[in-house]
Amino acid sequence: MTHLLPPEFFTATVPLNAYLILSAILFAIGACGFMFRKNIITIYMCIELMLNAVNLSFVTFSYQFGKVDGQIYSFFVMVVAAAEAAVGLAIILTIFRNRGTLQIDEIDTLKN
């Protein structure tokens, strides 16, 4: 058995468009949250959500073309997200230590 799910499982009842639509909606939700949240950590989480939506469409196309390259891109996105989370959270911790807040509109020392 080369795959986790048995072959009888795949009846092709769900068109691949459905995955792409889901990916678009997920991305929109992520972008929405990115715009209206005010806390740095939640904004970060919204970015992760958007990255995931993109990953989903990469994997869908990888399935579509029968090539594994899309999955590799997704894997790279995950690794970059991990690196980004490590550095980003370190920055967040430093900001919190210096300013005692994580609200983005209170971190405005460069403004005036």
Query: Which residues between 29 and 58 bind another protein (CB under 8 A)?
Result: 29-33, 35-39, 41-42, 44-46, 48-49, 52, 55-56
Return the closest-CA partner of residue 54 out of 85, 68, 75.
Answer: 75
- Residue 96 binds another protein (CB under 8 A): yes
Are 104 and 41 a contacting pair, CB within 8 Å?
no
Nearer to another protein, 71 or 107 (CB): 71
Q: How many residues bind another protein (CB under 8 A)?
A: 81
Are 55 and 78 a contacting pair, CB within 8 Å?
yes
Measured distance CA(58)–CA(72) in Å, rounded: 9
- Residue 99 binds another protein (CB under 8 A): no
State the minimum distance, in angstroms, from the CB of residue 89 to another protein: 5
Measured distance CA(108)–CA(111) in Å, rounded: 5
Residues 59-78 that bind another protein (CB under 8 A): 59-60, 62-69, 71-72, 74-76, 78
